[in-house]
């Protein structure tokens, strides 16, 4: 099969096309012909080298996989060859106390396709049969590949961690990102008032199209000051953040009393300064969020199928142009998801 791989970590230039043997199929697995694969920032981090992460080499990135089942293992259940599937991108042991409680994202064996084991930047991929979820039939392959990780991550942040309530003021940092564009829609779906940030007039317009009630230009405006002005000086109830550094600090400053900030990334920096007096004096909750639960993806997919949640597709690149696709994301030119097609 044809794949985009790398043998060493580094910039986009380490990605190269190569013919690889088809991966072996275990009894509990299925082989999926990849029709489209979404790109996540996780791909860029793995390609660049994550400290302590032991990866399969040559490495094939790609977590957000949709396609057709072409081979079924002997113990793979009722799945059939030819069936279309959206692949759950996360993997857990299924037997530990966290998995049995439904908290599979807290499993000590938890991982994501394309992180340690090879993923979907290829003609086909082998995945556990339990990861094959129903395909949203109203969507194209490319649209469906823009759904899994970003909607799962945003749903877990807002519903699982922040316990979003109708009427909450929600500040979504980075409307142009996959998580940001998903979070705007999920917050609006649950009756929140959404304030979204972006760095250009075009992205601010698109954020409003997705459902943001108010927007902040984070290139030219003070995020915290503007958020407080938009909430009659109260501050926001929830901040959804995945940038880190000074933006995390601005998110804390934007919170109302009893506010909740949830973060899932640190694209500009992992070190922040925090005034502990502010933390306890304003009764704040600062939370990390790691991916999401299987049942959360199952809960949100009907909203995707109905059209209440809409995947935001930025650009589609052919698989052999994965380098250019990574460069496009690193240049922060995208709004929504970038997808590869074999």
Q: Could you tell me the CATH number of the domain that includes residue 74?
A: 3.90.180.10
* pLDDT score at 293: 97
Percentage of the chain exceeding pLDDT 90: 96
pLDDT higher than 90, residue 269: no
Query: Mean pLDDT across the stretch 271-285?
Result: 96
Rounded to 5 degrees, what are φ and ψ at 142?
-65, -40
Q: Is residue 300 part of a domain?
A: no
Do 84 and 172 reside in the same domain of the chain?
Answer: no
Of 98, 90, 240, nearest in space to 157 by CA: 240
Number of separate helices (H) and strands (E) present in the chain: 11, 17
Residue 97 falls inside a structural domain = yes
What is the rounded average pLDDT of the residues 37-43? 96
Task: Assess whether 128 and 21 both reside in one domain.
Answer: yes
Same domain, 159 and 212: yes
Q: 88 and 108: one domain?
A: yes
CA distance 147 to 141: 10
Q: Give the number of other Cβ atoms within 10 Å of residue 232's Cβ.
A: 8
pLDDT band at 61 (very low <50, low <70, confident <90, very high): very high
Task: Specify the pTM.
Answer: 0.95
**Percentage of residues in the chain with pLDDT exceeding 70?**
100
Both 110 and 164 in a single domain?
Answer: no
Q: Where are the alpha helices (DSSP H) in 51-171?
A: 97-100, 141-144, 148-155
Query: Are residues 227 and 139 both part of a single domain?
Result: no
Model confidence pLDDT, tens digit, residues 137-153: 999 999 999 999 999 99
User: Looking at residues 175-183, what average pLDDT do you find?
Assistant: 95
* Residue 133 β-bridge partners: 86
d(CA 202, CA 196): 13
- Could you list the residue range(s) of the whole structural domain that residue 163 is in? 151-288
In a domain, residue 259? The reply is: yes
pLDDT tier for residue 267 given thresholds of 50, 70 and 90: confident
The total of structural domains in the chain comes to 2
Closest CA to 76 of 112, 124, 136, 126: 126
Residue 313, pLDDT above cutoff 90: yes
User: How many Å is the Cα radius of gyration of the chain?
Assistant: 20
Average pLDDT, stretch 34-48?
97
- pLDDT of 91 above 90: yes
**Residue 141 shares a structural domain with residue 39:** yes
Q: Is 297 contained in some domain?
A: no
Same domain, 70 and 200: no
> Which residue, among 288, 266, 279, has the nearest Cα to 162 in the 3D structure?
288
The CATH number covering residue 227 comes to 3.40.50.720
């Amino acid at each position: 099969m044809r794949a985009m791989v790398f043998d060493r970590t580094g910039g986009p230039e380490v990605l190269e096309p190569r013919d690889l043997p088809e991966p072996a199929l275990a009894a509990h697995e299925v082989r999926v012909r990849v029709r489209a694969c979404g790109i996540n920032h996780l791909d860029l981090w793995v390609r660049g080298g994550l400290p302590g992460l032991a990866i399969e080499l040559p490495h094939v990135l790609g977590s957000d996989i949709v396609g057709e089942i072409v081979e079924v293992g002997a113990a793979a259940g009722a799945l059939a060859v030819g069936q279309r599937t959206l692949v759950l991108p996360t993997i857990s042991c299924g037997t530990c106390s966290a998995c049995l409680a439904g908290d599979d994202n807290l499993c000590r064996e938890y991982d994501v396709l394309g992180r340690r084991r090879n993923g979907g930047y290829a003609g086909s991929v082998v995945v556990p049969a339990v990861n094959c979820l129903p395909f949203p039939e109203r969507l194209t392959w490319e649209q469906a590949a823009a759904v899994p990780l970003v909607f799962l991550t945003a749903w877990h942040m807002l519903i699982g961690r922040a316990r979003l309530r109708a009427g909450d003021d929600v500040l979504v940092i980075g409307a142009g990102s996959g998580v940001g564009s998903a979070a705007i829609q999920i917050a609006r779906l649950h009756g929140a008032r959404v304030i979204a940030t972006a760095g250009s007039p075009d992205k601010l317009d698109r954020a409003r199209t997705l459902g943001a009630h108010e927007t902040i230009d984070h290139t030219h405006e003070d995020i915290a000051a503007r958020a407080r002005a938009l909430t009659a000086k109260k501050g926001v109830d929830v901040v959804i953040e995945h940038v880190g550094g000074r933006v995390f600090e601005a998110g804390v400053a934007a919170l109302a009393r009893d506010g909740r900030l949830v973060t899932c990334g640190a694209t500009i920096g992992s070190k922040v300064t925090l005034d502990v007096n502010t933390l306890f004096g304003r009764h704040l909750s600062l939370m990390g969020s790691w991916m999401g639960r299987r049942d959360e993806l199952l809960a949100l997919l009907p909203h995707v199928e109905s059209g209440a949640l809409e995947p935001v597709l930025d650009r589609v690149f052919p698989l052999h142009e994965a380098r250019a696709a990574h460069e496009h994301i690193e240049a922060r030119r995208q709004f929504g998801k970038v997808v590869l097609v074999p």
